[in-house]
Chain A
Amino acid sequence: MRIVGVVVVAMALVIGVVPQFTHCKAVSASSGSTMSMGSSTTMSDSSTATGGATTMGAGTAATQPTPMRCYWTARAAIGVALPLAAAGVLLFFSRRKETCRALAILVCVLGVVTVLLPTVLIGTCQPSSTVCNTTMRPILLATGGLTILIGLITLVRNELTAEEHTAAMQAAS
């Protein structure tokens, strides 16, 4: 369980840290762009689709920077990474089968949430060539998928060892 705990903490670090540097606003800020890629533009024609986020139809054709979806996905990823890191630390120290089982299920659920953040729950910017789509989204999907896999393997291994332990106890008695 110690190795699993370390791996889960590493996953939590990737989920929490990488999106902070790979959402459009962070990249455009670091490149010194005058008009942020992470900002959508409010448009006068409400039926006109923008290439970016969903801020449309309100008032003037002026540029009013509003954080785009990928920014909020990156922020939400911190919210997933923190409990995941805590689960990893607890997995590192826990010895009881019941605790490990509960933590493995928690890791699975957090993995699912990580996958859902850039796909269903919040999403990323619409243009497929933006950095949030080319880097942040695939990294979140890959680490989320891996986290689910780690959770499932931990759960199965935990159940198998629990059965072996019960069988050994029965044999001893």
Chain B
Amino acid sequence: MRLRSLIALALHNLADNELRSWLLGLCAFAIAAFAVTTVLVVHGAQESLHLAADRLGADVVVVPRGAATQVDGALLMGTVSKTWLPSSDVARIAAVPGVAVASPQVYLESLSHASCCAVSRMFIVAYDPRTDFTVGPWLHQSLGGALGLEQAVGGCRVTVPVNHNIMLYGYTMWLRGKLEPTGTNLDQTLFVTLPTAYAMAHSSRTTAVRPLVIPRDSVSSVMVKVRPGQAPARIARSIADAVPGVTAIVSPQMFAAYRSQISGLLRILLLVLGLLLVLAAAVTAALFAMAANERRRELGVLRALGASCGAVLVALLGEALTLALVGGLAGALVAAVGVGLFHTLLISALGFPFLFPAFGRLAGEVVLGLALALVVVGAAAALPALRVSRQEPADAMRQ
């Protein structure tokens, strides 16, 4: 029996029983959609945390004791931390043996819906240009020089175009460039030098709806780069011993609260996906067993006319796989488009950031979801199809 006839037979049978076809397609749709959503969110979140840690570029991050989660939240979600370190700690951290550079940062926020701020509640990172190694190297490479007074760079999602002025607290700065995306709040963050931040605070007394207050001799965190060959974990312990009242976090352990939140979500999603797979497989197997029983005579006639066991099996599996392909593809595409469209809404609902992948990786994840739907539906349909296809034609027609 030729392949074309088998395909025609499969399509004819699918059109004949619309309800069964819709149910099987729906099973494949649900499997692919859920699998793609899970992979997109969880993988995107892990990627996002990885890129955010890379963007900071520090081996060790020193924050006030007990403020690790607040600083994580500030960097990832833009919720500004209100805890401060005395700026004298920067010199003490730099003096710890094994520390190559210690660079302070101050975290600020623009006012909410105030006429003096062009962007509402914008997260601002002020860094020390003399010691900075997070934004500085990128500035030298991309813009050919450091930031001066009244200058800023932004994350890729800062709404003001490059080479335009941006006004915060009534203080106007020139946006010189934008950084690569990370999927975190760093994408909507403005990076300025400490002198610019102090100038903005000074100016805000007369130009802003509410003045910007930066506590004297205080910093939000200290980024530490260790000397080559030194173990960051050992240096972090040394810093914690040498400087009281601080927590030193090694870069891979940054964002620990978010990592555990993502792991928790992953466990729940995998559990639901597992249940969904079992349920979809059971529904598919039951529907196919019913359909195969209904068509026992018809398939017996087909065998009597010369169709081999294999041909009947291929025709039956062809039906299942066609439905799985159509339903799975629709599910995977709907999930990808849905997650892409509602990306920002999902971030605020989940409470952690995730990066939507580039086209190449997205296509790979869609194919993965589709493959899962094909495997589950195909495997569930194989058993009843095998049983019916092996039946003797005479027996089948007699029943």
- Chain A residues with CB under 8 Å of chain B are 33, 35-37, 41, 43, 45, 47-51, 61-63, 126-129, 133-135, 138, 141-142, 145
A122 to B130 alpha-carbon distance, docked (Å): 45
Q: Mark B86-127, 1 if CB is under 8 A from A, else 0.
A: 000000000000000000000000000111011110100000
The reply to whether B160 and A51 contact each other, CB–CB distance below 8 Å, is: yes
Interface centre among A37, A43, A62, A129 (most CB of B within 10 A): A129
Contacting residue for A48 out of B113, B159, B172, B337, CB 8 A: B172
B276 CB, nearest partner CB in chain A, Å? 23
The reply to whether B113 and A33 contact each other, CB–CB distance below 8 Å, is: yes
List chain A residues, Cβ under 8 A from B165: 45, 47-49
A6 CB, nearest partner CB in chain B, Å? 17
B345 on the interface (CB 8 Å rule)?
A: yes
The reply to whether B338 and A142 contact each other, CB–CB distance below 8 Å, is: yes
List chain B residues, Cβ under 8 A from A63: 115
A33 to B161 alpha-carbon distance, docked (Å): 28
B344 on the interface (CB 8 Å rule)?
A: yes
List chain B residues, Cβ under 8 A from A33: 113
The reply to whether B345 and A135 contact each other, CB–CB distance below 8 Å, is: yes
List chain B residues, Cβ under 8 A from A141: 341
Which 7 residue pairs spanning A and B have beta carbons closest together?
A: A138-B341, A51-B119, A126-B159, A35-B113, A134-B344, A49-B160, A134-B345
A35 to B338 alpha-carbon distance, docked (Å): 32
A126 to B119 alpha-carbon distance, docked (Å): 9
The reply to whether B159 and A37 contact each other, CB–CB distance below 8 Å, is: no
For this complex, 27 residue pairs linking A to B, each with C-beta atoms less than 8 Å apart, are A33-B113, A35-B113, A37-B120, A43-B118, A43-B167, A45-B167, A48-B164, A48-B167, A49-B159, A49-B161, A49-B165, A50-B118, A51-B119, A51-B120, A51-B122, A51-B159, A127-B119, A127-B120, A128-B157, A129-B188, A134-B344, A134-B345, A134-B348, A135-B345, A138-B345, A142-B338, A142-B341
- Chain B residues with CB under 8 Å of chain A are 113-115, 117-120, 122, 157, 159-161, 164-167, 172, 188, 337-338, 341-342, 344-345, 348
List chain A residues, Cβ under 8 A from B119: 51, 127
The reply to whether B166 and A49 contact each other, CB–CB distance below 8 Å, is: yes
Beyond A43-B167, A134-B345, 4 extra complex contacts between A and B, CB < 8 Å:
A47-B165, A49-B165, A127-B119, A134-B342
B19 CB, nearest partner CB in chain A, Å? 15
List chain A residues, Cβ under 8 A from B164: 47-49
A129 to B79 alpha-carbon distance, docked (Å): 14
List chain B residues, Cβ under 8 A from A133: 344
A142 to B119 alpha-carbon distance, docked (Å): 28
B22 CB, nearest partner CB in chain A, Å? 13
List chain B residues, Cβ under 8 A from A127: 119-120, 159
Interface centre among A33, A49, A128, A142 (most CB of B within 10 A): A49
| Residue ID in chain B nearest A41 by CB atoms | B115
- Given contacts A51-B120, A51-B159, A127-B120, is CB(A35)–CB(B114) below 8 Å? yes
Interface centre among A37, A50, A51 (most CB of B within 10 A): A51
Interface centre among B161, B338, B341 (most CB of A within 10 A): B341
A121 to B166 alpha-carbon distance, docked (Å): 26
B327 CB, nearest partner CB in chain A, Å? 16
| Residue ID in chain A nearest B187 by CB atoms | A128
A7 CB, nearest partner CB in chain B, Å? 15
Interface centre among A45, A127, A141, A145 (most CB of B within 10 A): A127
List chain B residues, Cβ under 8 A from A126: 159
| Residue ID in chain B nearest A50 by CB atoms | B118
List chain A residues, Cβ under 8 A from B117: 51
Contacting residue for A37 out of B113, B114, B118, CB 8 A: B113
List chain B residues, Cβ under 8 A from A43: 115, 118, 167
The reply to whether A129 and B160 contact each other, CB–CB distance below 8 Å, is: no
List chain B residues, Cβ under 8 A from A134: 342, 344-345, 348
A145 to B348 alpha-carbon distance, docked (Å): 24
A138 to B117 alpha-carbon distance, docked (Å): 27
B175 CB, nearest partner CB in chain A, Å? 8
A114 CB, nearest partner CB in chain B, Å? 13
A133 to B166 alpha-carbon distance, docked (Å): 21
Interface centre among B115, B157, B160, B345 (most CB of A within 10 A): B115
A136 to B188 alpha-carbon distance, docked (Å): 20
B119 CB, nearest partner CB in chain A, Å? 4
B384 CB, nearest partner CB in chain A, Å? 31
A31 to B341 alpha-carbon distance, docked (Å): 25
- Given contacts A134-B348, A138-B341, A142-B338, is CB(A49)–CB(B118) below 8 Å? yes
Interface centre among B164, B337, B344 (most CB of A within 10 A): B344
B330 CB, nearest partner CB in chain A, Å? 10
| Residue ID in chain A nearest B164 by CB atoms | A49
A145 to B340 alpha-carbon distance, docked (Å): 14
